[in-house]
Amino acid sequence: EVQLLESGGGSVQAGGSLRLSCTASGFPFDESTMGWYRQGPGNECDLVSSIRRDVGTYYDDSVKGRFTISQDNAKNTVYLQMNTLKPEDTAVYFCAAAERGRLAVWQWCGNNFYRWGQGTQVTVSS
């Protein structure tokens, strides 16, 4: 069974830090593109960051220099370290996986093209 289990969301004040974790099972983790989306208005998801072993990393301009994505293949886990958080980072964050190709910079949350986690709330207060 394919699963993406997320943890690490929460509430912090502006300037604080959080680390999201996503542990995967049921598909070839180290051959997949892993990433994090955050949900905007409606059911739209914007790609925050992604990582793939043979390609490297991607970051949205809004998080460059503040967020760092990494993966531990031994644990089948991808992390998103979020520093210097801003109120505009407030959103539900979804872990996603694409077994082939890249993660698109925009997608409908939970679509059938990717594997999705259940989502975790990040709230940043000013």
Where do the DSSP E strands lie in the chain?
A: 3-7, 10-13, 18-25, 33-39, 44-52, 56-59, 67-72, 77-82, 91-98, 106-108, 115-116, 120-125
Residue 39 pLDDT:
96
Among 96, 88, 91, 125, CA closest to 113: 96
Q: How many Cα atoms sit within 13 Å of 55 on the Cβ side?
A: 17
Cα radius of gyration rounded to whole Å, the chain: 13
Q: Residue 42: is its pLDDT beyond 90? A: no
C-alpha 23/C-alpha 88 separation (Å) is 26
Spatial neighbors of 125 by CB under 8 A, at least 6 apart, are 11, 12, 13, 14, 87
Q: Residue 18: is its pLDDT beyond 90? A: yes
How long, in residues, is the chain? 126
Compute the mean pLDDT over every residue in the chain, rounded to the nearest whole number.
96
Residues of the chain above pLDDT 90, percent: 93
Among 45, 98, 89, CA closest to 66: 89
Q: Residue 19: is its pLDDT beyond 90? A: yes
For 98, phi then psi, to 5°, come to -120, 115
Q: Residue 102: is its pLDDT beyond 90? A: yes
Tell me the mean pLDDT in the region 41-63: 95
Torsion of CA 101, 4, 39, 72, to 10 degrees: -70
Residue 98 pLDDT:
96
